[in-house]
Structure 1
């Protein structure tokens, strides 16, 4: 499905309810599988969370004798691939093969597999060494110490932390190198703390104590800050005085992408908290940065696409660093950004870790944006409909994290039609 976004104006005041964080939901779904007396509310309705839930439900409904090997297909869901690899490694007398899309088979899993093997896991590769699909023979993991490189993806670390309280002796995890996306690691630890797991994170060592059974617990998932980023972009590109209210959000969020509050204050958007909602307001008489807008996004790389597109729409330059993990996402996001922004008239340079956009007032019209099976490509470019008309190819890809995205844009005033 390709969508045509005609030049639009947003309503002066709008309100949107965004479902639970995909990141929090997927962590809590795994913990719920390990500890069934946990109950969740406001869980994400994203494809990734549906895939995760289905795989775990499929496991819980299986009865002995189990098939020799059960096939788990997680499609494009990278988080599910990492988390389920760790989960199934701990499930005694269960054998599964986890596979996914063609792109998923190109995304590395070796670092996590080797860490789990240090703990005693039995995992092998079905096709290419270091990449899915993988075969896992679940067993009791008796070791409690592991070390791994920490500069690739924090999801490897979170996957180990999530199974740690079920290990007989817990886990002592030593991280080697510069740690990427620290807020996501802290989110995982905070969620473990919420169910009663004792943890510590000192320098490059994380310790997680075992927990047999937590008290029954109802956990409410905070709405997704990554999804909020597109509305920050919309307000930044809209007229002075426009407001969008989003729910439900916490001031003391566990999500690293809540960094949007401070980042977008520098791009003309004020954030006000009231009763678990945030009100985004375009600041009056705001003066944009006169030189390149510079950010290190090592802790929140998922919002890089949105920020780069916002800067382009505002006609300002930016230099974004800390982006090395974007090379192994649903697509190579840095190259994809370069290709699509260039179509729109941008001058942009990328390295393995950074993106530099030159200031420009040129925005080409009637450009078709390729999405590369990447939900964030579709959503990051959509706010440019406030500046020009554009076409979003394969727009349904947003269902990976935000199925209601296009309907919510229509609610706030976007003019969208099927091409």
Structure 2
């Protein structure tokens, strides 16, 4: 199928305009939200001390569920993240009539389809799946459903309709899929008329999101033929792709890699590769969520141990602990835990860091920068602009309200902390329906001020118990 020219490159101008308009509307609504008492005040935190057992990784949870659904056999998935994103994936599997037995909120058994997922509806009916703002459900399902039979529409909340997916659609069309998104924006809803695929070759961009490549990789083993996927420019967030490939191996599939993962790699999946259930799998603790407690310990000089990820973690975001060490914290590694503290005689210092491999955790660095001596430069985070909100604009806006001076560029920012690190008190933080904005900016309270978090319930996307865990190790 020949691709329409408007889909060959997602319009970044359209994306940025939509995101900025949405951001402005959220800012204007902040006062109304506060008036309705949809806020949480985090009181001054003197120190964070204790041990935190992390919830399961969002990225690993949804990947495990999808691979289990495509496998031969039944898979018990434990330490599943209890959150909105995972709920949307589970609800989609229910709607697709993939058997899922719930043992608890964190444990399920998925009976695999031993191949692609077909629509349970008649061939003239369309299966409409609502996926909220869950990119880790939208992108992989869009790819996987192209490999089977049936008609589908994948949609979500208004912000999901502003999140690019054109590069993934481009790759799927090159493999012969009858799939499309909104031509003008390159965003969902995604329409699929699936009749199975015979394999082939796709060359896609990796500059916007590694999720597009991960989605194609996960779907490839249920294609009836060999699949080769090439990156035509550069691959951001390569550790997430390595995570995907490692997980596929646990389900019996080997991905052949040519070239440098930091360059223009290509990936080959042979037709003989098939998913076989490992029978059970334990989801690793979420390394992105670990960043809040790691940074809190570094800021306050407390001692915090996060359990669930460590030196043997498959997640790239554990490297955030190394950034805190650069700033002046002390870090101790164990295979499944990380312990962080800071000597009171050592002041945090600003850093200049390429965060292309840790874009989610890099948000936490933006708040840690408020407590440092000198500016902090956070580089290679263009993907911030394409996430749950326009995160670059959001971080600039909220850090400025707190007293910082922030220089904004296309794919990086420079944060100059407030004079003498004196943070403005009782500031209302607008969270833009973005879970990471709420959790990241809660750490402002470590500066001896009250911080008011608007819409704290948005943390349900990945970490609904976050504020309870934070309070559990906080000394006020």
Corresponding position: 1:4 with 2:4: no
- C-alpha separation between the residues in 2 aligned to 1:114 and 1:209? 21
* Correspondence for 1:68: 125
For residues 187 and 436 of structure 2, the distance between their equivalents in structure 1, rounded to whole angstroms, comes to 23
1:48 aligns with 2:99: no
Equivalence for 1:32: 68
Alignment of 1:162-311 (within 5 A): 162-203=218-259, 204-210=265-271, 211-214=273-276, 216-239=278-301, 242-274=302-334, 276-289=336-349, 292-311=350-369
In 1, distance between residues paired with 2:425 and 2:371? 12
Deviation at 1:84, TM superposition (A): 1.2
Corresponding residue for 2:11? Answer: none
Matched length: 409
Select between 39-48 and 121-130 the one with higher mean Cα deviation.
Answer: 121-130
Secondary structure of the residue that 1:114 maps to in structure 2? Answer: helix
- Over 3 Å counting, the alpha-carbon distance change for 1:414 and 1:128 in structure 2 is farther
TM-score (norm 1): 0.93
**Are the equivalent residues in 1 in contact too, given 2:459–2:466 (CA < 8 A)?**
yes
The change in CA–CA distance for 1:6 and 1:198 in structure 2 (over 3 A counts) is same
Please, which runs of 5 or more residues in structure 1 have no aligned partner? none
In structure 2, distance between residues paired with 1:67 and 1:385: 56
Aligned to 1:366: 426
Per-residue CA distance 1:300-337 (angstroms, 9 max, x = gap): 11112110110113354101111111111111111111
Give how far 1:149 is off: 1.1
The DSSP-based 3-state class of the residue aligned with 1:20 is coil
Write the distance in 2 (CA, Å) between the matches of 1:336 and 1:105: 19
Structure-2 change in CA distance of 1:124 and 1:257 (3 Å): same
Q: Tell me the equivalent position of 2:467.
A: 406
> Does structure 2 conserve the Cα–Cα contact (< 8 Å) formed by 1:86 and 1:116?
yes
Q: Could you tell me how far apart the structure 1 residues matched to 2:336 and 2:353 are?
A: 28
Q: Which of 88, 94, 106 is matched with 2:145 structurally? A: 88
C-alpha contact 1:346 1:362 (8 A) present in aligned 2: no
Give 1:380's match in structure 2, choosing from 427, 434, 440.
Answer: 440
Gaps of 5+ in 2: 1-37, 99-118, 260-264
1:99-110 correspondence runs (5 A): 99-110=155-166
2:348 and 2:45 map into 1 onto residues whose CA distance is 22
Contact kept in structure 1, 2:207 and 2:233, CA below 8 Å:
yes
What do the CA deviations read for 1:235-263 (whole angstroms, capped 9, x no partner)?
A: 11113xx2122221242211110111211
SS of 2:452's equivalent in the other structure is strand
Query: Can you list the C-alpha shifts for 1:126-174, whole angstroms capped at 9, x where unaligned?
Result: 6855221121122211132111111111000000000111112232111
Q: State the secondary structure of the residue aligned to 1:121.
A: coil
Alignment partner for residue 149 of structure 1, among 186, 198, 205?
205
**In 2: Cα distance, 1:224 partner to 1:139 partner:** 36
